[in-house]
Amino acid sequence: MQRSMAASVGMHRRSMKKASMAGFLAMLVLFAALLALPARAQSYDAAIDRFLSDSFPDTEAGIAALQAAGDPRGVAVLEALLDRRLFVVAASRTVLVRDRAGQTSDARTGQAVANAPDGAVMVRLNNRLRGLAQAALGAMTLLSPDPERRRLAAEAVFRSRDASALPAIDKALETENVPRVRAALREARAAILLADAQAPIAERIAAAAFIGEIGDQDGIGLLRQTLANAQGPLREAVEAAIKRAEFSQQLRRAGQTFWFGLSLGSVLLLAAIGLAITFGVMGVINMAHGEMVMIGAYVTFVVQDIIRTHAPHLFDWSLPIALPLAFVVTGLIGIAIERGIIRFLYGRPLETLLATFGVSLVLQQAVRTAFGPTNREVGAPSYMSGSFEFIGMQITYGRLWILVFTFAVFFLLLAVLKATALGLHMRAVTQNRRMAASMGIRTGFVDAMTFGLGSGIAGLAGVALSQIDNVSPNLGQSYIIDSFMVVVFGGVGNLWGTLVAAFTLGIANKVLEPFAGAVLGKILILILLILFIQKRPRGLFALKGRAVEQ
């Protein structure tokens, strides 16, 4: 220690001149840095002042100034601005930031403020400013330690195509090792180069090829924009890239249409399964079927309402809790309808139709009186909201879960019919009532249970449909026609037929929709269905044998 110190002192002495020179330089740098620090802080303060007036032009200038100042505190301010957590107090000329936990602090001093004072006004934004703020935030958070944030930053830069962010992107690319962030960064880099008319032509051509290879919709938009004022080899490259991207888009679109069809089919199937029991198996033209779906949705609303007020942490469980309740409630209502009305009308289909139509109106108005005519809010649990990308297709979680749920209900029902005593009795009663009665089956009880089962399944459908449709007294009406269509098309009395029919109609609808439009598409489907029924009056899978003769 002693020695090394002495040595260093010796060395110091020996190169006194040189060292003093270096020291001077270092001092100079330090001084400059010390000068720059307050300068940066000053420009940060000046940027903050811009927000005080809460006018759109000033806020715009403030966003630009925050990005220019480059002060790390600016990130929190911009985030607060975007999340509507930034307030100004005109009287005391202070800008307040409320963090996500609800703690308010002064944007300039960082000091905590106990309560937002009176006269604190939220800084307003419009969509254009929101875009600018996101771009600025993107440029500032490219080197954030959180990979998700880096990815969002890269996407924001991709959208803004701000050439001044290029050095930051290059720097971020040097150290980036998370693959998806890296991909986003490279895409952002290509977007900047492509949009920048000053960039070297070779780099722009390479960027066009890169974006064409990714082939997503934002990329196509960017390429088309570039095409408008591109010449020579760049134009050719961009055209080739567009062609390439569009081809992969077309493939994706076909896949997407298929998925949309599956999803629509699952909704149709879900709405129709219950009817396949009450109408298909029992032969009751049940016009109140849609109202059972509607009541199921209202059960979900009531469950969520109770959970919201008493146990908010259970919110994600609201659907699993609502499912059995909806089944029981609608099942009991179904049994009451069967015992109270329908059993007196067996064998008189027209009277059944009118009576159940009356019941549907009564149920609708009863719900309207109890819950009011306006829509009720049913929230989506976390696992039901949002979407993910699957080989370039957008798959929404809600729709995926509904598809899964539909299959679960379908196979459960199939198992009940095929493997339980109740199912056996049901089939026996529907095939030959008198024979079943003489074998000692309580046909009245079985009728009630069958109708209850069909209604209960409609209630289950209501829980799922509350996630994608309005929960209003009219919910059921929009499904009743489609449900009858599916059951009749599939062949009355055949569950598998219902399954095939629902998915056929769903996919056909979605294939027709882009060409014919939603209105004409639906009409075309109905016409095709009428023609089909002319040819095969008993639907896709007609029951054969003695049951048909009844």
Partner 1 sequence: MRVSRRTLLASAAGSAAILKFGATGSWAQGAPIKVGILHSLSGTMAISETTLKDVMLMLIEEQNKKGGVLGRRLEAVVTDPASNWPLFAEKARELITRDRVSATFGCWTSVSRKSVLPVFKELNNILFYPVQYEGEESERNVFYTGAAPNQQAIPAVDYLMSKDGGEVKRWVLAGTDYVYPRTTNRILEAYLRSKGVAASDIMINYTPFGHSDWQTIVASIKTFGAAGKKTAVVSTINGDANVPFYKELGNQGVKATDIPVVAFSVGEEELAGIDTKPLLGHLAAWNYFQSVKNPDNEAFIKTWQAFTRNPKRVTNDPMEAHYIGFNMWVKAVEKAKTVDVDAVIDALPGIKQANLTGGISEMLPNHHITKPVMIGEVREDGQFDVVWQTAGLVPGDAWSKHLEGSKDLIGDWVGRKCGNWNTVTNRCGA
Q: Interface residues with partner 1 (CB under 8 A)?
A: 56, 84, 124, 126-128, 130-131, 134, 159, 217-218, 220-228, 249, 253, 256-257, 260, 263-264, 267, 365, 368, 372-377, 379-380, 385-387, 394, 396, 398-399, 468-474, 477-478, 510, 513-514, 517-519, 522
Quick one: 135 or 436, whose CB is closer to partner 1?
135
Closer Cβ to partner 1, 130 or 180, answer by number: 130
CA proximity to 157, closest of 139, 174, 175, 143: 139
Measure the CA–CA gap between 460 and 398, rounded to whole angstroms: 15
* Strand partners of residue 87: 96, 122
| Amino acid, single-letter form, for residue 513 | E
CB of 267 to partner 1, least distance (A): 7
Choice between 67 and 226, CB closer to partner 1? 226
Gyration radius of the chain over CA positions? 34
- Kindly state the smallest distance separating residue 271's Cβ from partner 1, in Å: 11
Closest CA to 450 of 222, 261, 243, 286: 286
The least CB distance from residue 423 to partner 1, in Å, is: 32
Closer residue to partner 1 in complex, CB, 272/495? 272
Neighbours of 331 (CB within 10 A): 22
Angle value at C-alpha 172, between 170 and 177, nearest 5 degrees: 120
Which lies closer to partner 1 via its Cβ, residue 299 or residue 342? 299
> Between residues 259 and 541, which has the closer beta carbon with respect to partner 1?
259
Minimum CB–partner distance for residue 141 and partner 1 (Å) = 17
Considering the complex, state which of residue 45 and residue 216 has its C-beta at the smaller distance from partner 1. Answer: 216
The distance of closest approach from Cβ of residue 308 to partner 1 in the complex, given in angstroms and rounded to an integer, is 12
Helices (H), 83-178: 127-140, 147-160, 166-175
Q: How far is the CB of 119 from partner 1 (least distance, A)?
A: 13
CA quadruple 99, 105, 111, 116: dihedral sign: negative
Helix/strand/coil for 214 = helix
3-state DSSP call for residue 94? strand
Distances (CA, A) of 387 to 392, 397, 468: 12, 5, 14
- φ and ψ at residue 45, rounded to 5 degrees: -60, -40
Q: Is the dihedral of CA 52, 54, 57, 62 positive or negative?
A: positive
Shortest distance in whole angstroms from residue 143 CB to partner 1? 23
Shortest Å, Cβ 516 to partner 1: 11
**12 Cβ contact list (under 8 Å, min separation 6):** 19
Choose between 256 and 432: whose C-beta lies nearer to partner 1. Answer: 256
Q: DSSP class of residue 281? A: I
State the nearest-atom distance from the C-beta of 217 to partner 1, in Å. Answer: 4
Cβ distance to partner 1 smaller for residue 248 or 470: 470
